Amino acid sequence: MRKGPFIVICAFLLLCLIGTVSGEVRYVLEKAVSICLDCIGIG
Q: Please give the mean pLDDT across all residues of the chain.
A: 90
Residues whose CB falls within 8 Å of the CB of residue 43, separated by 6 or more in sequence, listed in order: 34, 37
pTM for the structure as a whole:
0.61
pLDDT score of 14: 97
Those residues of the chain that have pLDDT short of 70 are 43
Read off the amino acid at residue 43. G
How far is Cα 28 from Cα 36, in angstroms, rounded to an integer? 12
